[in-house]
């Protein structure tokens, strides 16, 4: 605009000087004036350019490297330029929840920011209105980041989080496996926020909220981030790691990205501060980077439907009448409620809680492998709503709870676990909750293990063997000619854990190299062999 403004004026001055040239011989004064004007014009253009750069958000890198993820590629980004929400990227949150109704008209894009406006306004029986947007694309493993500030005044719950969306307008968990709460802030507590991870498949569980202390979240923008892998979720604030959560034992699936703010009593809030309204949560940008490093075929189930047993996979089913199902003492056998597996089911015989009573299902596992574990029961109103479970597996001991008042006569998914060969693994139920605890059947389904081994024309006899005395894994292979060899080991999150060889030139013949090191714990890994820069072997092994 500066150029359009000055150009006609400069042209006019030039014409004026030409006219004077015909009448005057000395134009030195006028030429100096023109030169000064042009100098000022150049300075003005430079200033305008600088102001534009200062106003624009910093450009993001297409490829970034995260310590916990390796190289990640920018896949989704919105810097909220323009004057309207990009409908190819976002949909609106439209539910009525807690103290407010979320309205599309409260979503505003201006000045390079997304405004989630909050107001004292009657809508759908609520006295306040909030706002929220949910990404249309879905994403999974990688790095999520957003920069924003919270509304002024008490009473607003502002969140940046990831969870599957079912199109209902709100937070129904029909399409959710997990929920990753990167930031949950209640504006009453403007010097802190919380993180959490929920499992919504089967019985709802969470790792519980953990608070992070911060500067004033109302006064300025701050940056939140989240690394999501098959093994862990890591939460970041201003680039600093604030929490790590193990998610290796729960089913994981795609996420929508949510940015929302609504009126709520959460965080001990007693009322909304009307004196600060209208206000807004203001978002600078949101980004998602997809993890590019090699990642194992997932050990956790992942599809667009709820996890159910797959009859094509090897299965072990233990009923309450089988010898592999044991009890602390004989339980009551019944057929009163329909939907049981086999000929009957057992219950603990009392509606009182009795921690001393237990039932245990112990499979005879034919080989080390990961298994989906499912449990079945006959549901009823007189059942416990939070039956404690203990799952002993190859990587430790996991506790969870199931709700036996619901999900009658169906296999309910408990998680995916490494089970070691033999009879050392089990599922154990405790009758320590109020209600008749039911022991029916447990199903163990082996997860298919895929190994991507390409035709080995240049490297033959690739084998991974274990030294029984120290559990060290050794790779042996033969190369036919002198070649540049790279041999690397990645863990289940696609992170390089052992750079065995990196572009080393080897002579022809048989080769043998140690794949394991002290940093590698029990679990699955993948060995990648490259010959002259070309990957020829990608093989999975269990440590």
Query: pLDDT tens digit string along 329-385?
Result: 999 999 999 999 999 999 999 999 999 999 999 999 998 888 989 999 999 999 998
pLDDT at 6 over 70: no
pLDDT at 457 over 90: no
Helix axes 2-23, 28-55, angle to 10 degrees: 180
Q: Helical H runs in 24-86?
A: 28-55
* Distance separating alpha carbons of residues 372 and 445, to the nearest angstrom: 5
The pLDDT-based confidence of 294 (bands split at 50, 70, 90) is low
CA distances from 442 to 300, 374, 379, 391 (A): 18, 6, 15, 12
* Distance separating alpha carbons of residues 329 and 184, to the nearest angstrom: 47
How confident is the model over 467-491, as a mean pLDDT? 85
How confident is the model over 484-491, as a mean pLDDT? 89
| Residue 325 CB neighbours (<10 A) | 21
pLDDT at 181 over 90: yes
CA trace torsion 224, 170, 114, 278 (10° rounding):
-110
How confident is the model over 476-491, as a mean pLDDT? 89
Cis check for the bond before 414: say yes or no (omega within 30 of 0).
Answer: no
pLDDT at 153: 94
pLDDT at 23: 40
The DSSP bridge pattern shows strands 70-78 and 63-66 to be antiparallel
* Distance separating alpha carbons of residues 156 and 129, to the nearest angstrom: 10
pLDDT at 541 over 90: no
β strands within 136-175, DSSP E: 142-149, 156-163
* Distance separating alpha carbons of residues 215 and 193, to the nearest angstrom: 10
Higher-scoring residue by pLDDT: 123, 309: 123
The pLDDT-based confidence of 3 (bands split at 50, 70, 90) is very low
* Distance separating alpha carbons of residues 146 and 286, to the nearest angstrom: 4
pLDDT at 454: 41
pLDDT at 305: 46
pLDDT at 542: 80
pLDDT at 299 over 50: no
pLDDT at 15 over 50: no
Find the range with the poorest average confidence among 143-147, 324-328, 489-493: 489-493
The answer to whether 74 and 287 are in contact (CB under 8 A) is: yes
* Distance separating alpha carbons of residues 491 and 440, to the nearest angstrom: 37
* Distance separating alpha carbons of residues 526 and 510, to the nearest angstrom: 21
Quote the tokens at residue 66: 């995260």
The answer to whether 532 and 520 are in contact (CB under 8 A) is: no
The pLDDT-based confidence of 306 (bands split at 50, 70, 90) is low
State the chain's maximal CA–CA distance in angstroms: 122
- For the residues of 71-124, what is the DSSP string, one character each? EEEEEEEE---SSS--TTTEEE---EETTEEE-GGGEEEETTEEEEEEEEEEET
| Residue 35 CB neighbours (<10 A) | 10
pLDDT at 485 over 80: yes
Q: Which residues pair with 225 in a beta bridge?
A: 145, 236
Quote the tokens at residue 52: 């534009």
pLDDT at 200: 87
pLDDT at 52 over 80: no
Q: Which residues pair with 281 in a beta bridge?
A: 116
Q: Which residues pair with 428 in a beta bridge?
A: 360, 390
Find the range with the poorest average confidence among 182-196, 275-289, 334-348, 449-463: 449-463
| Residue 235 CB neighbours (<10 A) | 24
The DSSP bridge pattern shows strands 63-66 and 126-135 to be unpaired
If you ran DSSP here, which 8-state letter would residue 162 be given? Answer: E
The pLDDT-based confidence of 71 (bands split at 50, 70, 90) is confident
* Distance separating alpha carbons of residues 271 and 264, to the nearest angstrom: 8
pLDDT at 126: 97
21-35 pLDDT, tens digit per residue, is 444 444 444 444 444
pLDDT at 504 over 70: yes
Sign of CA dihedral 459, 465, 467, 470: positive
Q: Which residue has the tokens 């190369």?
A: 479
Higher-scoring residue by pLDDT: 497, 304: 497
The DSSP bridge pattern shows strands 279-291 and 70-78 to be antiparallel
- Please give the share of the chain, as a percent, with pLDDT higher than 70: 83
How confident is the model over 182-210, as a mean pLDDT? 93
pLDDT at 383: 95
What's the chain's average pLDDT?
Answer: 85
Find the range with the poorest average confidence among 150-159, 227-236, 357-366, 524-533: 524-533
How confident is the model over 55-61, as a mean pLDDT? 56
pLDDT at 258 over 70: yes
The pLDDT-based confidence of 492 (bands split at 50, 70, 90) is low
* Distance separating alpha carbons of residues 458 and 86, to the nearest angstrom: 50
**Among 384, 379, 373, 381, which Cα is nearest to 428's?**
373
User: How far apart, in Å, do the first and last CA atoms of the chain sit?
Assistant: 66
- For the residues of 257-294, what is the DSSP string, one character each? EEEEEEE--GGG-----GGG-SEEEEEEEEEEEEE-S-
If you ran DSSP here, which 8-state letter would residue 139 be given? Answer: B
Quote the tokens at residue 202: 């089967």
3-state secondary structure of 128: strand
- Please give the share of the chain, as a percent, with pLDDT higher than 90: 60
Quote the tokens at residue 457: 């024309």
pLDDT at 468: 59
How confident is the model over 88-96, as a mean pLDDT? 98
| Residue 22 CB neighbours (<10 A) | 6
* Distance separating alpha carbons of residues 16 and 382, to the nearest angstrom: 98
Distance, C-alpha 499 to centroid of its chain: 27
Cis check for the bond before 480: say yes or no (omega within 30 of 0).
Answer: no
How confident is the model over 71-81, as a mean pLDDT? 95
The answer to whether 148 and 259 are in contact (CB under 8 A) is: yes
The answer to whether 263 and 155 are in contact (CB under 8 A) is: yes
3-state secondary structure of 45: helix
């Amino acid at each position: 605009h500066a150029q359009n403004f000055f150009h006609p004026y400069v042209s006019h001055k030039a014409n004026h000087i030409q006219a004077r040239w015909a009448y005057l011989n000395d134009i030195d004064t006028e030429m100096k004036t023109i030169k000064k004007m042009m100098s000022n014009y150049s300075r003005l253009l430079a200033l305008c350019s600088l102001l534009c750069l200062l106003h624009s958000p910093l450009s993001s890198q297409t490829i970034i490297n995260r310590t916990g993820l390796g190289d990640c590629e920018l896949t989704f980004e919105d810097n909220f330029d323009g004057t309207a929400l990009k409908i190819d990227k976002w949909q609106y949150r439209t539910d009525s929840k807690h103290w407010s109704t979320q309205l599309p008209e409260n979503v505003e894009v201006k000045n390079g920011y997304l405004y989630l406006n909050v107001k004292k306004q009657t809508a759908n029986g609520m006295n306040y209105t909030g706002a929220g947007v949910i990404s249309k694309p879905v994403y999974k493993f990688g790095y999520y980041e957003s920069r924003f500030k919270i509304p002024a005044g008490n009473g607003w719950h502002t969140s940046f989080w990831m969870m599957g969306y079912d199109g209902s307008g709100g937070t129904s968990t029909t399409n959710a496996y997990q929920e990753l709460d990167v930031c949950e802030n209640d504006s009453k507590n403007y010097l802190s926020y919380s993180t959490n991870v929920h499992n919504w498949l089967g019985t709802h569980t969470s790792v519980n909220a953990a608070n992070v202390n911060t500067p004033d979240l109302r006064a300025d923008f701050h940056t939140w981030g989240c690394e999501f892998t098959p093994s862990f979720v890591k939460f970041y604030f201003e680039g600093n790691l604030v929490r790590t959560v193990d998610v290796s034992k729960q089913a994981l699936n795609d996420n929508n990205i949510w940015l929302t703010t609504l009126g709520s009593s959460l965080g001990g809030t007693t009322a909304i501060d009307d004196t600060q309204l209208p206000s807004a949560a203001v978002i600078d940008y949101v980004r998602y980077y997809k993890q590019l490093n090699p990642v194992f075929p997932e050990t956790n189930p992942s599809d667009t439907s709820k996890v159910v047993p797959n009859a094509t996979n090897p299965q072990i089913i233990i009923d309450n009448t089988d010898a592999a199902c044991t009890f602390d003492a004989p339980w009551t056998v019944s057929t009163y409620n329909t939907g049981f597996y086999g000929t009957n089911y057992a219950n603990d015989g009392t509606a009182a809680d009795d921690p001393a009573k237990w039932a245990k299902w112990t499979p005879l596992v034919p080989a080390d492998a990961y298994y989906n574990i499912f449990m079945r029961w006959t549901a009823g109103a007189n059942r416990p709503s939070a039956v404690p479970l203990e799952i002993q597996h190859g990587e430790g001991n996991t506790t969870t709870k199931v709700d036996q008042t619901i999900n009658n006569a169906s296999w309910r998914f408990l998680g995916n676990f490494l089970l070691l060969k033999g009879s050392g693994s089990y599922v154990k139920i405790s009758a320590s909750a109020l209600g008749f605890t039911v022991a029916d059947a447990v199903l163990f389904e082996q997860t298919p293990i895929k190994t991507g081994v390409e035709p080995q024309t240049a490297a033959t006899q690739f084998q991974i063997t274990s030294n029984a005395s120290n559990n060290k894994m050794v790779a042996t292979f033969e190369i036919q000619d002198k070649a540049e060899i790279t041999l690397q080991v990645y863990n289940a999150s696609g992170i390089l854990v052992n750079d065995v060889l990196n572009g080393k030139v080897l002579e022809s013949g048989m080769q043998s190299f140690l794949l394991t090191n002290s940093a590698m714990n029990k679990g699955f890994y993948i060995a990648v062999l490259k010959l002259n820069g070309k990957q020829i072997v990608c093989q999975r092994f269990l440590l």
